[in-house]
Chains A and B, each alone.
Chain A
Amino acid sequence: MAQSERQIPPVEAVSVSAAFFDRIARRILAAHANALPDLRGITVLLPNFHVAQPLAQALMRLAQRPALLLPQMVTLNEWAQSVSLDERVVSDSQRSALLYQLLRDKKWFEQADLWGMTQELLGLFDELTQSLHALPHDAEAFAAAVQQVYQARQNSTLQLEARLVFELWHAMQSGNELDGARAYQQRLAQLAAQASQPLYVLRTSDWTALEQRFLDEYEQRAMVKVFDLREMDAPWSGLFSDVSVGLRSRTIPQLGDTLRFFAATSLEQEARAAAMQVRLWLQAGKRDIAIVAQDRVVARRMRALLERAEVLVTDETGWTFATLSVSTVLERWLTALQSDFYHHDMLDLLKSPFIFADTLAGERKSAVYQLEQLLRKQGVVAGLEKFIGLAAHETLLHQPLARLRQAAALLEQGKKKTLGAWLAALRESLNVLGIDVGLQQDDAGQQLLRALETWQQELHSDEGRYRFTEWRRWLAQQLDTETFRDSSIDSPVRFTHLAATRWRAFDAVLLLGCDADHLPSVADGGRWFNDAVRSSLNLPTRSTHAARQRDDLLALLTLNDCVRVTWQRDRNGEESLLSPYLEMLRDLHALTYDDDLSERDLHAYLATEELHALSLTQVRQPAPAAATGIVPMSVSISAYNSLVACPYQFYARHILRLNELDEVQEGIEKRDYGDRVHQILQRFHERYAQVSAHPDDELEAVLREISTEVFADLLQQDFAARAWLARWYASLPAYIEWQMDNEAQGWRYAESESAFDWQLEGVRLRGRIDRLDVNGDEKLVLDYKTQSEQVLRNKLKEPGEDVQLACYAYAHEAADAAFVSIENGKVKRVQPKQDMPLLAQLNAERLEHVMASVYGGAGLPANGIDAVCGYCEMRGLCRKGEWA
């Protein structure tokens, strides 16, 4: 491949971008030849500090001196920051707290997300501040102006909106303190007022109104020279400005290998292609690679792929705290608190690596696992005190639980507090829980702690009081907006965003996620005013944002000669479109040069990567032979049933002895219902072995009484228990009737819940029956089932598939055994058609025979039918569905 043969380019290679910088340098040097080599008397305004280096180098290239003292090279923001103001500047956190209270007190927008609304309004105010001098000065005029732009008839809603915005904005500005936007404005004004040095400006797109004003004022006092890339005959300047010109009458320079497109068919493919491209570039010796991530999701995926390949990435964009693990621990802590330590939330908190960081990680983990096992077994759903009670005998758990209790006491949810007080309490609780120690050990964690401290300081004079939930929402929003930049990685590969590439040149640039949804990315217009109004107020509109991105993109393409674009042509099965700017470039290129700029190699590289194939044996239906010594010598009825249904299931459950973990049960399940009905009937017959002598209503009353006793705890816990009880009550009269009938046939209740353990040839069979009735010498085993007659009949349809009844009969030498179906207000006896003693005998023999085979090393095949597999927890072991 051509690229791999290329050497690392020498620093001096004259690139496209160097030529532009040379032009600027030449111009500056020409104007200031006298001052050489000391250029400190000049200021150069840069779009970002990265541009200082190439510009300085260009100056040196042309000046050819041993050393040059460089001009002041600053970004406007940085420059403004150097100006000190007399007034105090209020922090954004204070400002939003103020506005929030204002809105809350006025009871406006009661249905709305007030913090979000606050945020949005402040954004709008800042924009208004920036274009202030063009605005009318009272609400009436403002409203009238807005109305006019809407070209609307008299409309009170529109008026109201305009007036409201205007008034809130004024209210917010009435104090002596400056907000960030106003401070910036004043600083710029001062800078302009003190202007003395000649000013050179590099730009690629339009200024905001404020910035433009600054330059205008500056120019009154000192020389200003603007280098606008768009005007420096960049090859496509103006390409998108006049839309009325058809494609066929436009021209475009040949892009050759400057720009290539990769259309992916999935997120995965896009990320893989992008990562592959970067690795190829690195291999080819490129040393300064920018990844402009328009789509953050793909970027995340790609970063992981690069890390796999041991490529670390410097990140200029940063991530909001909400996407980082360090803030998750806060989130979990507060959630656990709010849900009264709902078990999932609590375990989640305790499994965070940041908590109890002042103790050994191993200890923390064993404590959590111990607690988890405990509460799974005991089924405790929530409540810190309950957990403390539960762990009374587990010394390992005492400390952690005590710390939770202590920390919880700090954050009393019932109270209203100031944001500052809440933050203070939070920080202290973090301290108690050893979370702050954990966070200290992490860069992002440190920053988070610092942010909490800063907010607390900023807000210490704010007196508004907030409920716990309000404060939580505030905190969530803060974490959502505050970004963390990991500055610890130094790498030639960097993530950046489009606006940060202004006037920068890289060895290679990857534009990631450039579909029409992400480029131009649309800033949410918000609910305040539409674009027509905004543009008449001189506020940025959607097209301002779009135009800026378009210009940035073109600038990027102008200064860089190796750009690759990736995008998803298919997104979750839906077709998606390429960014319109890129689409037009591509079409124009295709039209002019018959080359649609498709990337040529990546597909093949990806295919080669995929080719990496392994040879493993394909899965087949398993039929393991059990090792000697681990097959149980005694089998329960349910184990026997499992053996018949699917020997592999039996193997997994009873030979490997694998079980699902107990789940903490939160509602009543059918199984519980069955259990309770069994208990009720057992208690009932202990009192009334025979019912015939008693009147129906007495029996019913007693049975109901027992029922409420047996259901008492459930009724206490869960309202739905009443439904289950009602379900049983519906069958209750039928049960009495059935029992009467049963007795009329001569059957007498004999015993219940009796266990048996029967030695067969080579194997023991054990179980427990619900109930045994006798009739003279005859015995009848009964098994209560809360299933319908039909379901039970199906169970018995094929002889030998359900072994329960036959085994009962065998164990008790009963001539008969039956299910008692209790369901839907009906009680029915259900028994197999076949001769029970014979069936019993055959079942016993089969068990002996099969177990002998198993002991002897016969394979236990996974051969359950679908109906069995549907409820089988062992599917992950037998791998049914994967078999060749």
Chain B
Amino acid sequence: MSIALDPHRSIVVEACAGSGKTWLLVSRIVRLLLDGAQPSQILAITFTRKAAQEMQARLQLWLRDLAMRDDDFVRKFFAERGIENLSDAQLHRARSLYSSVLLAQPCITISTFHGWFMQVMQRAPLNADVMQGSSLLERAAALQEEAWEEMLEQMRKQPDGAGAQHMQWLFDACGLFTARKLLFNFLGKRAEWWAYTQGQQDTLTFALDNLRTDLAVDMDFDPVSDWGMCGNSEEVLFAFVHQLASNGTEVQQGKAGELERMWTDTAPELRFDQLTPLLFTLAGEPRSFKPTKKQAAEAFLFTRDALFDGLQAVRDTLAEQQAYRLNEAVLHCGVAFLERYQALKQQKQQMDFSDLEWQLCRLLQQSEHAETMQYKLDSRYRHVLLDEFQDTNPLQWQILRAWFDASVAVESQPTVFVVGDPKQSIYRFRRADARLFGVAREYLQEHFAAHALHNNHTRRNSPAVLDAVNAVFSDHPEGFVDFEPHTAEHTNLSGCVLALPLAVAEPSKEEAAENAPLALRDPLITPRTEAEEGARQKEAVQFADLLQTITREWSVNEHGKERRATYGDIMVLVRSRTHLAVYEEALRAQHIPFISSRRGGLLDTLEAEDVQALLMFIITPFADLALAQVLRTPVFACSDADLMCLAQSAAVDEVKTSWWQRLQHLTEPSPALQRAVELLQRWLALADKLPVHDLLDRIYFEGDVLARYSAVLPNEMRAKVTANLHAFMEIALSVDAGRYPSLPRFLQELRELRDSSDDAPDEGKLGHAGDAVRIYTVHESKGLEAPIVWLLDANAAKNNKDGNDVLLDWPTHEPQPLHFSLYTDQASRGKMRAPLFEQDAAQQAREEMNLLYVAMTRAQQALIVSGSSKGEDKEEKKKSLSWYDRIAAAVSNQQEPFGLSPSAELRTGLSKPAQNPLQSVGRVSPVGRNPTCDISSDGNVGLCCANPTYVLPLILPTGKRSTRNTAQQQRGIWLHALLQHLTEGGVTDANELQQRLTIPSAEMESLRQQAQHLLTSPHLARFFDAQQYRSACNEMPYINANGELKRIDRLVEFDDEVWVLDYKLGDSEDAARYRAQMREYQAAMQSVYAGKTVRCALVFADGVLSEM
């Protein structure tokens, strides 16, 4: 470890799950800082913003401790990190790191790849041909959809164009959905496409030419008629016919006759098609022909195989040709599609992640620019740290490499620290390639003299869990070759691994009912039962039951102390969310609180739909169903009787009235309906005046929305629903980057968000999750851990990657892919690409194992795995082992760590939790309820916090909105301002004056005349003509003895007297009103001008001077 932290070395660490990668990385940062690195010289990159934030927080926390704790702490801290004897100077420096890092400008960069790329891109040289000043596109899916529509529209307009023709071919050959999928997948691989066709003028021709070579196809060649016309074919066929006929069975002889006839009676170019059905099954498998005892087996087989080989060759050629044709069409349309998508982004001045990566990659591959970038950033990195390196994609690696190369070129080569774990690479679908880890290691070893280290020592898992992990992976299943047995840091941590018996469905009632007399279900009395999910449902019930047991009887270890397990300690993992509903339903039925903050699920929750229905109603009051839903929400909690009352009150005079009209005219509405009318009317009126967010706020408030949902909902749902309602509010705040969205536009956006799979907003996060079971997909669980992990539905067959995608060959050492093509179903894949398909499948299988590794290693103490089965026989026929199989096998091999055999015990144990071996995780003494109850989740705030001293403040109406000036007043104000300016002699240009005083051009002239009139009228002239007075001063401020600040409009000093002028807007009638004010002016000025007479006068807009 001391090597890993050595600030002067470059390091590549392959570290297993739970080995403390973040600890290592942050420790290294501290060591670098201690060694004198400036914060701005450090660049750390990780994969998610969350991880970056955590890293930053951890660093800050440590530095803070170093600054604040005593010397012993500091020495120990560094002793743990490879410095045994800290010098006094080092100690001093360690203590100052906190403030110097906190206040550094530029500060330390801890970022994601994309965050950092964006930063670099912003400094892209002007002469680089990249998108300048673009912002990051957030909703790519919507834009892709738009591009698709545009492309189709273009084709509609030009149905004879090449694009349209190719698309038509695709429609005919594979239908709309497949065509669409192929093209969207092509778009998804645009970065690879750009890399592949880099530097080509005509990318399409280039790609197709390559493909023709790769597939070895000649599109002009017609293998079918060639076969039919070829003498050799005839020879081979007849040889086999001969074999069949001589000494063959009756069937064989019949076949022989048929074959012979077919050949002879058919035109050469049709022979292949005619013969195929005789020789191949419908599914395309060769029909079986076996020699009888009487036939010469060897010759028979020889001729048979020769025939079939020939035919197969034709079929293969056809398949390659078909594949080529497909690619021709897809690439043709794909290029057009991509162009449109790029153009749309360009219009919006936005770029997506792929653009960012590709553009940056291109930029940095030009060495001149790459060097420029080294200079242009505010920071010069002397130390680069890369986390989770196994998730890097080829372009990212190229970017890094180019960056490193350039840094060498400008002689500021940094130290590089790479940490990752190829075993945890699960992001192929995001184009990550775990093999790059090895490539990077070699590169760094060669160019940066990097040290390669391994760490298989985990600080996370209990020995029990580790034993299972070791057992599952030690014989390197499915290419998991780089596994070495893990060792545990916490050897005393109790734990267990359980494989619950697979749930099997009851024999379906369909079969049972076969014999019973036919009777139909009365839907009013008997609900239909969910048929499909039998086995899974059983698993779900088992799951929910056991969860309850766990919180009753298990204990977990927290910081070395045993405490009762809570729901919050349990993390549930699934491979995909497809069947999650069944499990969630089971949890709900048992009132177990859970969070499955389903990505993108917010807008589908009932509460979010409710709010959308309400907004929908507000903009379309004739939307009856929306209104009915609104009435039924907890906000109004109207009953079905209320709804029926509305349904019945349809206007008598045949005019179809909307529910809203009916609701407003009900003669005797129920209290609930009455309340609804009042509030809805109010909100409808507000909708015109308020922005969406403010409107929602009023609705939440006046409708008492949160409290009413809480009151109506079951306990365990409250926190979640509240969080979702808040999350909805946040969308309203932030939609369109805070720009003002109109209500219809807002709803439209929501609809788009909801439809697009990757941009949909997540459900509300619960602050500190509270006491709830957390459900994640394995992918989401990356970087997380929990005392108890439950792997659900683990017996499901692995999801086969569906077809219609891009096939890529990008060897890790190549700057660009060597092969790029698309494929559909199995049949047309052909032979030439078989090695690539195999490679792809192998990588897929390997990733499947990685996923299992990630899932298992999330568990700190206990790992539970469950699954369902379609029945014994199906189990036996399975092609590959399921996750369940693997873990179950490992567990049964385990040496009964708890003195009990889990499998034997469990069959009976599940229903009788008291005898469950699970207590071995640690049994808790029978205490009362867990004292760490969470406030927000169970709503019992009152118990712990309601304190009579905290009396809520009263409503104190504060502030007022001034009434708007009348036109008259406004003119007066302008006139006043004009007078000021004209008498000061500063700005004289009418235009400029007008703009400065914001006087509308229409008013300006008449105001100016009026002002001039005042200034020049004879009885006022002495106050404005500088010849006639000693000095004058506008807007003169003074302060009186009471500390009040006053302003005198105009103060004019003559030799013996001083005049205070006050401009008035009204007319001269009401001079009396101003007496007090003027008296105050006079008194004040008298105290200043002790020797002079102070006189006061009002000057009215009409020119009247009225002395007070």
| Interface check A151, CB cutoff 8 A | yes
Contact B647 A630 (CB under 8 A): yes
Q: How far apart are A136's CB and chain B's nearest CB, in angstroms?
A: 19
Interface 0/1 of B81-114, CB less than 8 Å to A: 0000000000010011011101111100000000
| Interface check A37, CB cutoff 8 A | yes
- Assembly CA distance A879 to B622 (angstroms): 22
Residue of A nearest to B741 (CB): A328
Contact B960 A312 (CB under 8 A): yes
Q: How far apart are B255's CB and chain A's nearest CB, in angstroms?
A: 26
Beyond A69-B1036, A84-B987, A372-B620, is A607–B935 a contact (Cβ under 8 Å)? yes
| Interface check A218, CB cutoff 8 A | no
Beyond A83-B986, A618-B713, is A312–B742 a contact (Cβ under 8 Å)? no
Q: What residues of chain A lie closer than 8 Å to B376, measured between beta carbons?
A: 150, 158, 530
Contact A116 B349 (CB under 8 A): yes
Interface 0/1 of B968-1006, CB less than 8 Å to A: 000000000000000010111000000100101100000
| Interface check B23, CB cutoff 8 A | no
Contact A153 B410 (CB under 8 A): yes
Residue of A nearest to B995 (CB): A454
Q: What residues of chain A lie closer than 8 Å to B955, measured between beta carbons?
A: 309-310
Which stretch, B462-470, B878-886, B1079-1087, touches the partner chain A? B1079-1087
Q: How far apart are B576's CB and chain A's nearest CB, in angstroms?
A: 17
Q: How far apart are B792's CB and chain A's nearest CB, in angstroms?
A: 18
- Assembly CA distance A572 to B767 (angstroms): 8
Contact A876 B67 (CB under 8 A): no
Contact A160 B640 (CB under 8 A): no
- Assembly CA distance A587 to B739 (angstroms): 38
Which residue of the partner chain, among A247, A268, A327, A839, contacts B99 with CB atoms under 8 Å? Answer: A247
- Assembly CA distance A838 to B519 (angstroms): 10
Residues 1050-1108 of B contacting A (Cβ, < 8 Å): 1083-1085, 1087-1088
Contact B1088 A838 (CB under 8 A): no
Q: What residues of chain A lie closer than 8 Å to B1001, measured between beta carbons?
A: 453, 457
Which residue of the partner chain, among A610, A801, A853, contacts B941 with CB atoms under 8 Å? Answer: A610
Contact B377 A876 (CB under 8 A): no
Which residue of the partner chain, among A84, A151, A311, A541, contacts B959 with CB atoms under 8 Å? Answer: A311
- Assembly CA distance A530 to B633 (angstroms): 56
Beyond A243-B99, A661-B623, A720-B176, is A865–B1000 a contact (Cβ under 8 Å)? no
Residue of B nearest to A150 (CB): B375
- Assembly CA distance A652 to B984 (angstroms): 76
Interface 0/1 of B112-136, CB less than 8 Å to A: 0000000000111111111111100
Contact B950 A156 (CB under 8 A): no
| Interface check B294, CB cutoff 8 A | no
Q: What residues of chain A lie closer than 8 Å to B531, measured between beta carbons?
A: 797-798
Contact A616 B956 (CB under 8 A): no
| Interface check B738, CB cutoff 8 A | yes
Q: What residues of chain A lie closer than 8 Å to B717, measured between beta carbons?
A: 882
Interface size range on A against B: 35 or more
Residue of A nearest to B57 (CB): A575
| Interface check B561, CB cutoff 8 A | no
Contact B520 A843 (CB under 8 A): yes
| Interface check A604, CB cutoff 8 A | yes
Which residue of the partner chain, among B175, B712, B743, B1037, contacts A723 with CB atoms under 8 Å? Answer: B175
Residues 365-423 of A contacting B (Cβ, < 8 Å): 369, 372-373
- Assembly CA distance A574 to B123 (angstroms): 28
Contact B958 A492 (CB under 8 A): yes
Q: How far apart are A65's CB and chain B's nearest CB, in angstroms?
A: 7
Residue of B nearest to A116 (CB): B133
- Assembly CA distance A266 to B693 (angstroms): 17
| Interface check A314, CB cutoff 8 A | yes
| Interface check B929, CB cutoff 8 A | no
Contact B632 A530 (CB under 8 A): no
Residue of B nearest to A312 (CB): B959
| Interface check A799, CB cutoff 8 A | yes
- Assembly CA distance A40 to B1051 (angstroms): 13
Contact B125 A248 (CB under 8 A): no
Residues 355-384 of B contacting A (Cβ, < 8 Å): 368-369, 371-372, 375-378
- Assembly CA distance A607 to B952 (angstroms): 10
Which residue of the partner chain, among B104, B740, B765, B953, contacts A325 with CB atoms under 8 Å? Answer: B740
Which stretch, A206-214, A299-307, A752-760, touches the partner chain B? A299-307
Contact A304 B950 (CB under 8 A): no
Q: What residues of chain B lie closer than 8 Å to A720, measured between beta carbons?
A: 152, 176
Which stretch, B3-11, B237-245, B489-497, B697-705, touches the partner chain A? B697-705
Beyond A304-B697, A323-B740, is A243–B633 a contact (Cβ under 8 Å)? no
| Interface check B619, CB cutoff 8 A | yes
- Assembly CA distance A149 to B1038 (angstroms): 53
- Assembly CA distance A11 to B950 (angstroms): 29
Which stretch, A94-102, A124-132, A345-353, A777-785, touches the partner chain B? A345-353
Which residue of the partner chain, among B698, B935, B945, B1084, contacts A308 with CB atoms under 8 Å? Answer: B698
| Interface check A543, CB cutoff 8 A | yes
Q: What residues of chain B lie closer than 8 Å to A314, measured between beta carbons?
A: 959
Which residue of the partner chain, among B103, B104, B124, B634, contacts A616 with CB atoms under 8 Å? Answer: B634
| Interface check A253, CB cutoff 8 A | no
- Assembly CA distance A655 to B628 (angstroms): 13
Interface 0/1 of A786-830, CB less than 8 Å to B: 000000000001111100000000000000000000000000000
Contact B742 A332 (CB under 8 A): yes
Contact A310 B175 (CB under 8 A): no
| Interface check B559, CB cutoff 8 A | no
The listed residue with most B CB atoms (<10 A of its CB), out of A52, A113, A605, is A113
| Interface check A722, CB cutoff 8 A | yes
| Interface check B527, CB cutoff 8 A | yes
Which residue of the partner chain, among A160, A276, A325, A492, contacts B691 with CB atoms under 8 Å? Answer: A325
Q: What residues of chain A lie closer than 8 Å to B743, measured between beta carbons?
A: 351
Q: What residues of chain A lie closer than 8 Å to B92, measured between beta carbons?
A: 246
Q: How far apart are B175's CB and chain A's nearest CB, in angstroms?
A: 6
- Assembly CA distance A323 to B691 (angstroms): 9
| Interface check A573, CB cutoff 8 A | yes
Q: How far apart are B484's CB and chain A's nearest CB, in angstroms?
A: 33
Q: What residues of chain A lie closer than 8 Å to B950, measured between beta carbons?
A: 1, 601, 604-605, 607-608
Beyond A38-B1088, A527-B132, is A300–B693 a contact (Cβ under 8 Å)? yes
Residue of A nearest to B178 (CB): A723
| Interface check B911, CB cutoff 8 A | no
Beyond A580-B103, A627-B648, A846-B520, is A879–B606 a contact (Cβ under 8 Å)? yes
Residues 285-299 of B contacting A (Cβ, < 8 Å): none
Which stretch, B266-274, B545-553, B793-801, B1040-1048, touches the partner chain A? B1040-1048
Contact B134 A609 (CB under 8 A): no
- Assembly CA distance A278 to B134 (angstroms): 40
Q: What residues of chain A lie closer than 8 Å to B998, measured between beta carbons?
A: 450
| Interface check B518, CB cutoff 8 A | yes
Interface 0/1 of A284-311, CB less than 8 Å to B: 0000000000001100110011011111
| Interface check B733, CB cutoff 8 A | yes
Residue of B nearest to A370 (CB): B622
Beyond A155-B368, A157-B368, is A311–B958 a contact (Cβ under 8 Å)? yes
Q: What residues of chain B lie closer than 8 Å to A443, measured between beta carbons?
A: 964
- Assembly CA distance A614 to B704 (angstroms): 9
Contact B1000 A656 (CB under 8 A): no
Residue of B nearest to A618 (CB): B712
| Interface check B231, CB cutoff 8 A | no
| Interface check A324, CB cutoff 8 A | yes
Q: What residues of chain A lie closer than 8 Å to B619, measured between beta carbons?
A: 351
9 pairs, A vs B, C-beta closer than 8 Å? A248-B68, A323-B740, A369-B622, A443-B964, A488-B961, A488-B962, A608-B947, A614-B711, A850-B524
Beyond contacts A155-B371, A443-B964, A723-B176: 20 other A-B pairs, Cβ-Cβ < 8 A, are A60-B1043, A70-B1038, A153-B371, A158-B375, A282-B953, A297-B734, A304-B693, A313-B959, A530-B378, A542-B106, A605-B952, A617-B712, A618-B714, A647-B524, A657-B647, A660-B625, A722-B171, A727-B175, A863-B527, A865-B527
Q: Which 9 A-B pairs have the closest CB atoms?
A: A491-B959, A876-B629, A312-B959, A246-B95, A624-B640, A723-B176, A265-B767, A800-B520, A112-B132
